[in-house]
Amino acid sequence: MDMVEMEAQENKTMKNVLLIINCIILSIGNCGGPMIMRLYYIHGGKRVWLSSFLQTAGFPVIFITLLIGYLCRKRHDNSIIFIKLPLFVASAIIGVITGLDDYLYVYGLSRLPVSTFVLLTIGAAVLAMHTSEDRPAGESNKEYLIGFFITVMAAALYGFILPLVELVYNKAKQPIVYTLDLEIQLVLCVFASLFCTMGMLINNDFKVIPREARQYELGETKYYVVVVLSAIIWQGFFLGSIGVISCASSLLSGIIIAVLLPATEILVVIFYKEKFQAERGIALVLSLWGFLSYFYGEMKQSKKQRKIHKSETEQS
């Protein structure tokens, strides 16, 4: 095996390692994010813009990762920033869209049980049959339905964001190395956080947060612990999802999120004692059925494309 083949093998191994790490991070964020955010609301939290901000406010974690990467490579590469202006602008635009999606997402979650929320994106029609018993205590029909439909909008918008990120990667006029992937994630999160910060300023959240912390049912200290953990866990979700897209595809990122639906449902039933009605079970089955059908179709299409490519190569 010559040096070129060895280098290619090492790159492939490193990419697989990064993919596994990102899958784990995405899994933790996907299951833990909705649960920690719901914990904030059920014990007295009411700031929707604050919760939206927390979904991307953990971006300083990326700074640490980038710093470690720079220190490791500075002996043979003094480059500090990899991202170029066109990619920066595209990432900033996606970041603003993500900030809007964060707000829609949190607005729905603040008015729905977690188990309904995580299924709503795919099983909405079935879940709508049981809205009277599904509604959290103190929520009116109007608030519940608004949360219901806004959550559907958030799911549709996020379904647009994932392939949009992959499109930006494909159109980028520079190789997407992991450091560049982190820089894209950093720009995305910064602009999403700025969007939500504007909402917090308009809504006077910064003035209300200290009072809300004092009145929090679990205590002021635990209030800030929940806030910090929320930022860290959600950062894991976004970091993992973008990382999976970089190492594989947006399809795989969506597959992982779909596969984790049952895990999230089990966790909320255990920790929050939420009821799991038959309608939710049907919605879950439909969700997984849709995922398996789509995945099977993609596998067949990919296999067909490989055969076509192989035959064209042999003919040439």
Domain count, the chain: 1
Residue 152 lies in a domain: yes
Taking every pair of Cα atoms in the chain, the longest distance, rounded to a whole number of angstroms, is 74
Residues of the chain with pLDDT below 70 are 1-8, 10, 73-78, 111-145, 147-148, 250, 262, 265, 269, 271-299, 301-302, 305, 309-310, 312-316
Residue 9 lies in a domain: no
Q: Note the pLDDT tens digit of each residue in 90-100.
A: 999 999 999 99
Residue 199's pLDDT is 94
Residue 134's pLDDT is 47
Nearest to 115 by CA among 288, 281, 285, 292: 281
Q: Note the pLDDT tens digit of each residue in 57-106.
A: 998 888 887 887 777 766 666 677 888 888 999 999 999 999 998 898 88
User: What distance in Å separates the CA atoms of residue 112 and residue 120, rounded to the nearest whole number?
Assistant: 10
Residue 283's pLDDT is 58
Half-sphere exposure of 179 (CA within 13 A, CB side): 18
Residue 106's pLDDT is 84
Contact criterion met (CB below 8 Å) for 271 and 38: no
Residue 1 lies in a domain: no
Residue 130 lies in a domain: yes
Mean pLDDT, the chain, integer: 77
**Which residue range forms the structural domain that includes residue 146?**
20-315
User: What distance in Å separates the CA atoms of residue 24 and residue 178, rounded to the nearest whole number?
Assistant: 16
- Strand runs labelled E in 116-216: none
Residue 210 lies in a domain: yes
Residue 279 lies in a domain: yes
Residue 118 lies in a domain: yes
User: What distance in Å separates the CA atoms of residue 166 and residue 9, rounded to the nearest whole number?
Assistant: 24
Residue 47's pLDDT is 92
Q: Please state, in angstroms and as integers, the Cα–Cα distance from residue 54 to each residue in 58, 212, 239, following that order.
A: 7, 16, 14
Residue 14 lies in a domain: no
User: What distance in Å separates the CA atoms of residue 143 and residue 76, rounded to the nearest whole number?
Assistant: 57
Residue 224's pLDDT is 95
Residue 2's pLDDT is 60
